[in-house]
Amino acid sequence: MTFEITSPAFVQGETIPVKYTCDGEDISPPLQWSDLPAGTQSLALISDDPDAPMGTWVHWIVYNLPADTRKLPEQVSLPANSVDGKNSWGRTGYGGPCPPSGTHRYFFKLYALDTMLDLAAGANKTKLLQAMEGHILAQAELMGTYARQK
Are the beta carbons of 31 and 58 closer than 8 angstroms?
no
Q: Report the pLDDT averaged over residues 4-18.
A: 97
Please tell me the predicted confidence (pLDDT) of residue 150. Answer: 65
Correct CATH for 4-147 of 3.40.50.2300, 3.20.20.70, 3.90.280.10, 3.30.450.40: 3.90.280.10
Please tell me the predicted confidence (pLDDT) of residue 80. Answer: 84
Are the beta carbons of 36 and 2 closer than 8 angstroms?
no
Q: Report the pLDDT averaged over residues 135-140.
A: 97
Mean pLDDT of all residues in the chain?
95
CB-based contacts of 78, cutoff 8 Å, min separation 6:
62, 65, 72, 84
130, pLDDT greater than 90: yes
pLDDT digits (tens, 9 = 90+) for 46-89: 999 999 998 999 999 999 999 999 999 999 888 888 999 999 99
CB-based contacts of 88, cutoff 8 Å, min separation 6:
52, 57, 58, 59, 95
